[in-house]
């Protein structure tokens, strides 16, 4: 007897008929995905999510009556369902809306597929379907404010201020990073280096959005840049960021077959080599295991290591792996990590013991 596997139901929300038809064709061409409904605006998307119960939603940012941000907010409140945002442009205004949707609970954001005549169309279509399949597996829950969690005991009083903090982050990371930087300030504490997995074309807009939301001077890294206390640098899309022997930022090309580029493991392992016991590593929410091996390198070198707590993660994948291989000495929420960074800033120079 042959068992028929149930396909993954996808709801598409886009005000453009041409885009709905193109997205439908892409999804229907996948062996395990099927379109169970199409919405012309955010209001229809909210209603259809309640009625059809899709496994994942592909949501346009700009739509009449109700945009994708408000639709995502209502869906996550009333009928928690994985949402993937799509944008027709990588202009800053459009990207700001996409990242605001991520802050409301959407899992990922990417640019709309281009014309089927584009030479990269097949790869873009494959990547979109792969993302939908992955996001459909995420259990979405109503989020709670983790700000009170810092009242828990944090056994870190004997630690000293690190020279650098290296962070690996993926699905759910934009919201987690907002919390991490929430109470910190410029030109104080250790340098912070971040790898955040993002779709192509979104890194510069994300850094600008995060800088605006947090009030911090946050920038993409440049090759050869010297690392300084208090600075925040993100890896650009499509290149690895690491720390060289002379403690400058190094940007290098990706190798064929690598799953992530930039990769958290590349950054964290290089920080372990360059800074040893004066390094701190953090692995935030995300699918897979990126960052866990690098975090173990930092712990082996005597540095401080942290994994995001399960209850505060959108996807407890990367932090889970870090805990499983005993790479994480501490398990904290993003707000707890933020307050720890504030302590570092208040203490002052790297190497000084925390009170």
pLDDT class of 3 with cuts at 50, 70, 90: very low
Cα 236 to Cα 203: distance, rounded to the nearest angstrom:
6
Strands 249-252 and 240-243 come out as antiparallel
Token reading at 123: 């790869």
State the average pLDDT over residues 199-209: 90
Q: Is the pLDDT of residue 355 over 90?
A: no
- What pLDDT score does 348 carry? 61
* Tokens 């013991």, located at residue: 353
One of 15, 96, 197, 270 is an active-site residue; which one?
197
- What pLDDT score does 145 carry? 45
- C-alpha torsion sign, points 178, 179, 185, 187: negative
- What pLDDT score does 225 carry? 95
56-60, strands of its sheet edge to edge: 33-39, 8-13, 56-60, 83-87, 108-111
Please state, in angstroms and as integers, the Cα–Cα distance from residue 242 to each residue in 87, 222, 265, 298, following that order. 30, 11, 9, 14
- What pLDDT score does 148 carry? 44
Looking at every residue in the chain, the average pLDDT score rounds to 89
* Tokens 């920080």, located at residue: 271
Q: Which residues contact 123 (CB under 8 A, 6 or more apart)?
A: none
Mark whether 290 is an active-site residue: yes
Please state, in angstroms and as integers, the Cα–Cα distance from residue 193 to each residue in 19, 60, 264, 266, 334, following that order. 37, 31, 10, 12, 16
pLDDT by residue (tens digit) across 137-147? 988 865 444 44
> Which residues on adjacent β-strands are paired with residue 192?
165, 232
Residues present in the chain in total: 355
Which of 112, 97, 111 is CA-nearest to residue 19? 112
Cα 47 to Cα 57: distance, rounded to the nearest angstrom:
12
List, in order of start, the domains of the chain with CATH numbers: 8-135 (3.40.50.2300), 158-347 (3.40.50.180)
Q: Is the pLDDT of residue 90 over 90?
A: no
3-state secondary structure of 3: coil
Mark whether 197 is an active-site residue: yes
pLDDT by residue (tens digit) across 269-321? 999 999 999 999 999 999 999 999 999 999 999 999 999 999 999 899 999 99
Mark whether 170 is an active-site residue: yes
pLDDT by residue (tens digit) across 218-276? 999 999 999 999 899 999 999 999 999 889 999 999 887 778 999 999 999 999 999 99
Lowest model confidence (mean pLDDT) among 95-109, 171-185, 190-204, 336-350: 336-350
Q: Which residues contact 307 (CB under 8 A, 6 or more apart)?
A: 282, 283, 295, 318, 319, 322, 323, 327, 328, 330, 331, 332
Token reading at 163: 């020279």
Q: Is the pLDDT of residue 159 over 90?
A: no
3-state secondary structure of 249: strand
One of 14, 179, 290, 297 is an active-site residue; which one?
290
State the average pLDDT over residues 98-117: 87
> Which residues on adjacent β-strands are paired with residue 59?
13, 85
């Amino acid at each position: 007897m042959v068992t028929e596997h149930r396909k993954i139901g996808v709801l598409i929300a886009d005000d453009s008929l041409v885009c709905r038809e193109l997205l439908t064709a892409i999804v229907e061409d996948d062996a395990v995905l099927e379109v169970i409904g199409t919405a012309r605006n955010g209001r229809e998307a909210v209603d259809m999510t309640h009625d059809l119960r899709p496994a994942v939603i592909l949501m346009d940012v700009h739509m009449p009556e109700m945009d994708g941000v408000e639709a995502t907010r209502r869906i996550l409140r009333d009928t928690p369902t994985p949402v993937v945002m799509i944008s027709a442009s990588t202009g800053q205004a459009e990207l700001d809306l996409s990242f605001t949707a991520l802050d409301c609970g959407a899992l990922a954001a990417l640019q709309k597929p281009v014309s089927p005549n584009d030479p990269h169309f097949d790869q873009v279509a494959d990547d979109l379907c792969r993302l939908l399949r992955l996001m459909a597996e995420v259990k979405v829950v109503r989020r709670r404010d983790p700000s009170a969690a810092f009242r828990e005991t944090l056994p870190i009083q004997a630690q000293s201020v690190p020279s650098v903090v290296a962070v690996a982050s993926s699905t759910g990371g934009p919201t987690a990073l907002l919390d991490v930087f929430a109470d910190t300030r410029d030109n104080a504490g250790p340098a912070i280096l971040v790898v955040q997995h993002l779709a192509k074309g979104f890194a510069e807009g994300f850094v600008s959005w995060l800088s605006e939301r947090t009030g911090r001077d946050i920038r993409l890294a440049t090759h050869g840049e010297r690392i300084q206390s208090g600075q925040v640098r993100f890896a650009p899309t499509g290149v690895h960021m690491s720390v060289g022997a002379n403690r400058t930022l190094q940007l290098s090309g990706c190798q064929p077959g690598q799953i992530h580029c930039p990769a958290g493991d590349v950054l964290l392992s290089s920080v372990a080599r360059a800074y040893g016991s004066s390094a701190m590593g953090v692995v935030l929410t995300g699918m897979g295991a990126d960052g866990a091996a690098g975090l173990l390198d930092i712990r082996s070198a005597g540095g401080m290591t942290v994994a995001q707590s399960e209850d505060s993660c959108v996807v407890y994948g990367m932090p889970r792996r870090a805990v499983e291989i005993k790479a994480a000495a501490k398990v904290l929420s993003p707000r707890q990590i933020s307050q720890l960074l504030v302590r570092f800033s208040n203490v002052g120079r790297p190497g000084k013991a925390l009170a």
